[in-house]
Amino acid sequence: MISVELALRLRAAGLAWKPESGDRFVIPGREMDAEVFVVSELTIDVHQAPTGPLIRFNGTTEWALDSVPQEAVVWLPHEGRLREALGPRFRRLEPIGDGFAVVVEGRGGDEERHVDLDAERAYARALLSVLGE
């Protein structure tokens, strides 16, 4: 998973977010900085009833937080969304040693490699370059 700092850099560089099911985000500044939330159409949990486990379908498990404006949260895009944002400039993901390199077409047409220990962070670094940070 990418860091909040890297996610903030992506947002500042112009990465727009249209929330989709499965997207992860954090809510900074509300004493929940370390809590990662996931956009979901439906929340399901298991409840231990006297008759045995029940699978419950709920609207929300965070009952104390009814809603929060999108601009107050920080999106932590996952690998697929980062690759999608790279568009046709994405060439390939390569394993290298203990990490990964994302290869993209650079501004001059040459290939650029962006390396990190984590594939998602390598994608994020490549996207920062594509967005012109």
User: Using the 8-state DSSP alphabet, how is residue 71 labeled?
Assistant: G
CA-atom Rg of the chain in angstroms: 18
pTM for this model (two decimals)? 0.83
Q: Which residues constitute the domain of residue 21?
A: 4-131
What DSSP assignment string belongs to 97-113? TTEEEEEEE-TTSSEEE
pLDDT tens digit string along 19-68?
998 999 999 988 877 889 888 877 777 788 899 888 777 665 555 556 78
Query: What CA–CA distance (Å, rounded) separates 6 from 102?
Result: 16
Instruction: Compute how many other C-beta atoms are within 10 angstroms of the C-beta atom of residue 11.
Output: 15
The order of strands in the sheet holding 111-116 is 90-96, 99-105, 111-116
Number of domains in the chain: 1
Query: What's the pLDDT tens digit per position in 102-117?
Result: 999 998 889 999 999 9
